[in-house]
Amino acid sequence: MFKHLETEFASRLGRDCLAVPSNRLGLFMVLKHLMAPGERLLMSPITADEILFLVLAAGLRPIMAPVCRQSGNIDATRIDELNFDGVLTTNLYGLPDDVHALGRLCAERWIPLIEDAAHALQTTVGGVPVGTFGAAGVFSLSKHAGAAPGGMIALSSPHQRPALLEMRERWSTPRYRTVELAALLKTIARNTLAGTLLSLPAWHMSHALGLLESRQGHRIELRRTALAPRLGGLASSAAGVGALDPWIRADNHHYRARPGSLTESYALRRMQVMDRQRERRLAGVASLAALPMAAPAVRDHIDQPLFRVPLLVENRERAIEALRGQGVITGYIYDPPFDDYAPGLIEPSPLPQAANWWARHVLPVDPLQAEQAWPVLATLSSPEVPARPA
């Protein structure tokens, strides 16, 4: 499966790579491979809904980390006293986690550092690609590259491949040509319409046709009554990812379906498009970084072609509506943090204030649409920054 794409990723990352149907299935596989049921996984409370549910499906205990107000990632300076058996990074919007500090801490404790690099396909730290610092890194083909659903695991050792291959076979579902074609056509349409005046009608049509998951604000509905018995069955069954499938799949209902050669060919072409867009993306990052409401970490990584540029603004919902009028559809907002979204399912952060503030104010903007979004962004104001808790 995806041998040509695996070779392409291996040449970019300098690691053996394994193709998987999606980033989320790849993360589930890596968590099952590197950690044992009941172990405690330190993670950011600001990430996609499905990440929380796949962590639960892997039988792990999600431990919410304090968040750095500069970047929205794990605050590595405030976790020394916490008890955990592994760390999952987020690299939110392409801004890298503090992989050096987290890596040192994990090495001292003899625990795995696992990198979610879905937003960070083009991000480097000291010239080294994100996703190659830990025990494994998991990438997405549908973010930077804009390809059809698919993912890639960067292995720290070729010895990991046999076990992960077996897991891929066990947890993935058969490929159906019609499903693959539908996913490809949807992706091609999305890439074609993005940033045009047709993007807003297409967004409204997707909602009308039920193609987008029902959400409460920016999160999918938790449905605790339905979730509780499934969580209770995880400890005594091999259900794994299937048990929480209605929550993990979110807007990608075929995240376990094995893709075929058509998807691989399109993904390889989209990687070339991504490379051609690099300079334009960098220019957009530089332009947005000049705004006073740009998150401070953006200015520290102005040399990185970020997936999105996080701005911290007042009246975010009004800004989102105004941007839609410009054909700029805003996504990837993770509000509220998991502490407030799923209390009782996670161990709360000892310092939740920064995560609450960040999630309430962040407005992620595609740097490729910086010029298009500028008339709206220029009217926005920054929120008051609260004092850092002691």
Q: Which of 275, 339, 333 is nearest to 305 (CA)?
A: 275
Choosing from 251, 277, 303, the residue where a domain stops is 277
Q: What is the DSSP letter of 20?
A: E
Choosing from 277, 308, 341, the residue where a domain stops is 277
Residue 42 domain-assigned? Answer: yes
> What's the pLDDT score for residue 78?
96
Report the share of the chain in percent with pLDDT over 70. 91
Buried b (16+ CB within 10 A) or exposed e, 74-86: bbbebbeebebbb
Same domain, 372 and 290: yes
Query: Which amino acid does the sequence have at 358?
Result: W
| 95 CB-near residues (< 8 Å, 6+ apart) | 71, 72, 73, 123, 295, 297, 298, 301, 304, 306, 310
Same domain, 335 and 294: yes
Q: Please, what is the end-to-end C-alpha distance for the chain in angstroms?
A: 51
Same domain, 198 and 299: no
> What's the pLDDT score for residue 240?
80
CATH number of the CATH domain containing 284 = 3.90.1150.10
Extract the tokens encoding 266: 């399109």
Q: What is the mean pLDDT of residues 30-44?
A: 96
Same domain, 256 and 323: no
CATH number of the CATH domain containing 145 = 3.40.640.10
Same domain, 137 and 257: yes
Same domain, 84 and 136: yes
Q: What is the pLDDT of residues 74-133, one digit of tens each?
A: 999 999 999 999 999 999 999 999 999 999 999 999 999 999 999 999 999 999 999 999
Same domain, 196 and 345: no
Choosing from 257, 277, 297, the residue where a domain stops is 277
Residue 390 domain-assigned? Answer: no
Q: What is the largest CA-CA distance in the chain?
A: 56
Is a pLDDT exceeding 90 seen at residue 223? yes
Same domain, 182 and 46: yes
Same domain, 245 and 341: no
Q: Which pLDDT band, with edges at 50, 70 and 90, does 300 fall under?
A: very high
Is a pLDDT exceeding 70 seen at residue 199? no
Same domain, 53 and 134: yes
Q: Which of 71, 66, 62 is nearest to 96 (CA)?
A: 71
| 252 CB-near residues (< 8 Å, 6+ apart) | 22, 24, 142, 149
| 74 CB-near residues (< 8 Å, 6+ apart) | 42, 43, 44, 65, 66, 67, 68, 87, 89, 90, 97, 98, 102
Cβ distance 92 to 316 under 8 Å? no
Most confident of 26-30, 231-235, 254-258: 26-30
Q: What is the pLDDT of residues 200-212, one digit of tens each?
A: 565 455 554 455 5
Helix H segments across the chain?
A: 3-13, 23-34, 49-57, 99-109, 161-171, 177-193, 199-208, 224-234, 245-248, 261-276, 278-289, 296-300, 316-325, 338-341, 353-361, 370-377
- The pLDDT mean for the chain works out to 90
Name which residue leads in pLDDT, 251 or 59. Answer: 59
> What's the pLDDT score for residue 207?
52
Q: What is the pLDDT of residues 45-72, one digit of tens each?
A: 999 999 999 999 999 999 999 999 999 9
**Phi, psi for 81 (deg, rounded to 5):** -90, -5
- pTM exceeds 0.95: no
Q: What is the pLDDT of residues 307-339, one digit of tens each?
A: 999 999 999 999 999 999 888 989 999 999 999
How many domains is the chain built from? 2
Q: What is the pLDDT of residues 173-197, one digit of tens each?
A: 887 777 777 777 777 777 676 666 5
Residue 389 domain-assigned? Answer: no
Dist. CA 381–CA 177, nearest whole Å = 48
Range of the domain at 212: 1-277
Q: What is the mean pLDDT of residues 24-50?
A: 96
Residue 50 domain-assigned? Answer: yes
Same domain, 342 and 331: yes
Q: Which of 370, 372, 380, 379 is nearest to 325 (CA)?
A: 372
> What's the pLDDT score for residue 209?
45
Q: What is the mean pLDDT of residues 296-315?
A: 97
Is a pLDDT exceeding 70 seen at residue 236? no
Query: Which of these ranges, 43-47, 209-213, 356-360, has the smallest mean pLDDT?
Result: 209-213
Residue 15 domain-assigned? Answer: yes
